Structure 1
Amino acid sequence: MTHPLFIDDAYLADAPGSVAGHTAEGGVILDRAVFYPTGGGQPGDSGHITWPGGTMEVATTVKGEGGAIVLVPAAPQALPPVGTAVRQVLDWSRRHRLMRMHTALHLLSVVIPLPVSGGAIGEQRSRLDFNMDEPPEDTGSLEAALNALVDADLPVSVDWITGAELDANPELVKTMSVAPPRGAGRIRLVQIGEAAPWTDRQPCGGTHVARTGEIGWLRLGKIEKKGRQNRRVYLHLDD
């Protein structure tokens, strides 16, 4: 199992590690990783690792078996042997934009308080799918409410609860399509706000900024009909 350093510190962009294994497809498994693996709508991290006499560009990162985090090379190459000490470096500019966008989508779920049926996070454009009969009439007010939450510079923090506690508070789960992971015996909550009652509080394993003011100005994009009760809402980060 790879220790996910990004859970401890989402701002850690450079760290040592050791090669714990290889995959049959040519990926590298580290004992500890700053690289976030694809999941929960958030793309896997990219960057590079180096070791004495070698370097590997990381195109993306995915989940492997048994809690392993797998770094996928940008091109087939000779991999560092098991046990090799490496330096891992994120493409920080990309990761930070994804952090800003992921936190922004949490805010979007606040200003549109409806069940979420899907989502995807991008560097400049992201989306959430809502269980929504009709599109909102006043998108300008929604955009203003969204940016007001950004301007409030609310703190973003993490808490942990048990599966039993989540079962007792089902309203915490906003996503209809993705169940919170329960294998570790505890569930990570991302909280936005100073204290209870929280502006937002929901299970999430992704990476987020420390304060909403770090997100920057957001622009609400088009709203598409994706089914009788499904509307796809796009969100843009232009800077």
Structure 2
Amino acid sequence: MDALFREDAYARSCVATVTAVDERGIRLDRTVFYPTGGGQPGDSGTLRFDGLEVRIRDTVKGDGGPDDVIHVPEDGQELPATGTAVEAVIDWDRRYRHMRMHTALHLLCAVVPGSVTGGQIGADKSRLDFNVPAESLDKDAIAEAVNRLIAADTPVGTQWITDEEMAAKPELVRTMSVKPPTGSGRVRLLSVEGVDLQPCGGTHVAHTGEIGGIEVTKIENKGKQNRRVIIALKD
């Protein structure tokens, strides 16, 4: 399967062929739909074929490796048969908010010291959990620092390193709860130029200015040194 979302997060649709249909959902030979992973929700959208439309409520990973993507349809719909040509169209507004949020969390990670113990991306609010003492975090100071990075409109891009290079640079891994995907020979890094560099398979905006500003809505105590920082987009 050709994972188009990895190379172009701005691709909203593609023409594809159905390779399998079963109780879990629909597999295609190529897709722009991002599957749930790394704290980012799977895409929703539609598959269009022969004058019909199938609503996709979620996208998940199958058991066949990182390129096994399953499009999960809403119940009660007529599904395309194997071999059918379809147009796969994502719910762009929802995806783009996820892209802005995901990039904002990378900036949050750069601003807050300590390792990341968990995280979750949403269209309305997102969070990262940090292994830090409570007294070291100030809600307004964090928001101000992240918004300065957003206003700088810094380029955001991806690069690849080998599994061996990744193993030699453990300092690149900030997230304790999610290990970088290895085994395929290379690892994808997300780079916010001069700000953040770490393994990440998600979708992001091309410049930090696209985030448009965030607010830190809450900092929660989740343990002796585990602090949850919750953010929301300003618009």
TM bracket, shorter-chain basis: over 0.9
Question: If the length of structure 2 is used for normalisation, what is the TM-score?
Answer: 0.96
2:223 alignment partner in structure 1 = 227
SS of 1:43's partner is coil
Counterparts of 1:10 and 1:214, CA distance in 2: 13
1:215 equivalent in alignment to 2:214: no
Q: Matches of residues 30-179 of structure 1 in structure 2 within 5 Å?
A: 30-66=28-64, 67-179=67-179
CA contact (8 A) 1:59 1:74 kept: yes
Residue 138 (structure 1) shift: 3.0
Counterparts of 2:74 and 2:145, CA distance in 1: 40
Counterparts of 1:48 and 1:228, CA distance in 2: 45
Counterparts of 1:31 and 1:138, CA distance in 2: 47
Counterparts of 1:217 and 1:86, CA distance in 2: 37
Residue 163 (structure 1) shift: 1.3
Residue 53 (structure 1) shift: 3.7
> What amino acid maps onto 2:57 in structure 1?
A
> What amino acid maps onto 2:227 in structure 1?
R
CA contact (8 A) 1:41 1:120 kept: yes
After the TM superposition, which parts of structure 1 deviate over 4 Å for at least 4 consecutive aligned residues?
A: none
Are the structure 2 counterparts of residues 85 and 139 from structure 1 closer, same or farther at C-alpha, using a change threshold of 3 Å? same
Counterparts of 2:137 and 2:125, CA distance in 1: 22
SS of 1:227's partner is coil
CA contact (8 A) 2:58 2:73 kept: yes
CA contact (8 A) 1:190 1:204 kept: yes
SS of 1:60's partner is strand
CA contact (8 A) 1:124 1:238 kept: no
> What amino acid maps onto 1:237 in structure 2?
L
Deviations 1:16-75 (A, max 9, x none): 0000101323x1101101000000000000010110142100101000121321111122
Counterparts of 1:129 and 1:29, CA distance in 2: 34
Are the structure 2 counterparts of residues 22 and 47 from structure 1 closer, same or farther at C-alpha, using a change threshold of 3 Å? same
Residue 165 (structure 1) shift: 0.7
CA contact (8 A) 2:163 2:183 kept: no
Q: What residue ranges of structure 1 are gaps of 5+ in the alignment?
A: none
2:2 alignment partner in structure 1 = 3
Q: What residue ranges of structure 2 are gaps of 5+ in the alignment?
A: none
1:17 alignment partner in structure 2 = 16
Larger mean CA deviation between 49-58 and 27-36 belongs to: 49-58
SS of 1:65's partner is coil
> What amino acid maps onto 2:142 in structure 1?
L
Counterparts of 1:54 and 1:94, CA distance in 2: 23
Say what the alpha-carbon RMSD is for the aligned residues: 1.1
SS of 2:167's partner is helix
Deviations 1:104-130 (A, max 9, x none): 000000110210000000012000000
What is the total number of aligned residue pairs between the two structures?
A: 233
Q: Sequence identity, in percent?
A: 53
Counterparts of 1:128 and 1:139, CA distance in 2: 13
